[in-house]
Every structure is written in structure tokens, then in C-alpha cells.
Amino acid sequence: MATKTLKTLTAGIAAVMIGSAALMSPAAAGGSISLTYVPHDAKHQQALEAGLAIYGVVNAVKNGASIKQIGKNNMAGLGQNGSGNLGIIHQEGKGNAGTLQQNGDGNAYGIFQFGKNNNSDVVQNGNGQVGTTIQFGW
């Protein structure tokens, strides 16, 4: 119990420090924050995969792959070798670049970029892997 409380407290302090640093930056400064989540147990993998599948249904993803770009000068590429993969790249803003390569069967990954000048390159090798990256750039 103490370990869980310590981890929660540490995560909270880290979040406050990151948020404070962002507030202290000059308004014209550029930067980004990137969050990547790769679950390590079946329960969390299934939950994230379900969330990506719901996104796919809402956005009419066909054949397990989707690139959606809103803005200027965005670049994206998505390659899949295998079956049953779900790959999503969603970019809003300008100057974002994202690539996703899935090699194997039953993988699911979502790259979501907002703002400007984000860059993400992800490769999944193997079967049944799940993850997501969310980036915000300014």
C-alpha cells in the first residue's frame, strides 16, 4: 500500500513540475510534450485496444489503418505487414510528422498529435502489441 501511495505521490509531483515549467516559459517559446503508454498486462491492453477500436468505428477506419490530418504541412506514413492490425495516425495543427510500422499480427497503435512540429516514429514487431503516443506541440 505504501509503495502505491509513494508512486502516486511521485507521479503527482512530476505532473506539477511539468505543468509549472510550461507556465514559466515565455509565450513565444516553442516546445512539446509527448506521452507514450504501452500497457504491460492483458487487462490494460484490452482496454486500450477497445478505445482504439471505438475511435476506429467513430472515424470509419477501413482495413485496419487510418491517417487523418487537419492543418498544414503535416506528413504521415503507415505500413502494416500481417493481419488483424489496427494503426491510427491523427494529426491536427501544422508541421507534424508521424510514421507507424506494424510487423506481425493483432497489433494496435494510435499516434495522436496536436499543435505544431511534433514528430513520432513507432515500430511494432511481434504479435498482440498495443500502445499509444499523444503529443502536444507549441
Q: One digit per residue, pLDDT tens: the chain, 138 residues? A: 566 655 665 565 665 556 555 555 555 568 999 999 999 999 999 999 999 999 999 999 988 999 999 999 999 999 999 999 999 999 999 999 999 999 999 999 999 999 999 999 999 999 999 999 999 999
| Total of domains in the chain | 1
Which pLDDT score is estimated for 26? 53
Which pLDDT score is estimated for 62? 86
User: Does residue 45 fall inside a structural domain?
Assistant: yes
User: Does residue 3 fall inside a structural domain?
Assistant: no
User: Does residue 55 fall inside a structural domain?
Assistant: yes
**What is this structure's pTM?**
0.78
Which pLDDT score is estimated for 15? 58
Which pLDDT score is estimated for 116? 97
Interacting residues of 136 by C-beta distance below 8 A, sequence separation 6+: 32, 33, 114, 115, 118
User: Does residue 26 fall inside a structural domain?
Assistant: no
What span, in angstroms and rounded, lies between the C-alpha atoms of 79 and 64? 11
Which pLDDT score is estimated for 30? 84
What span, in angstroms and rounded, lies between the C-alpha atoms of 124 and 107? 7
SS3 category, 36: strand
Domain that holds residue 49: 31-137
User: Does residue 112 fall inside a structural domain?
Assistant: yes
Which pLDDT score is estimated for 1? 56
User: Does residue 48 fall inside a structural domain?
Assistant: yes
User: Does residue 14 fall inside a structural domain?
Assistant: no
User: Does residue 17 fall inside a structural domain?
Assistant: no
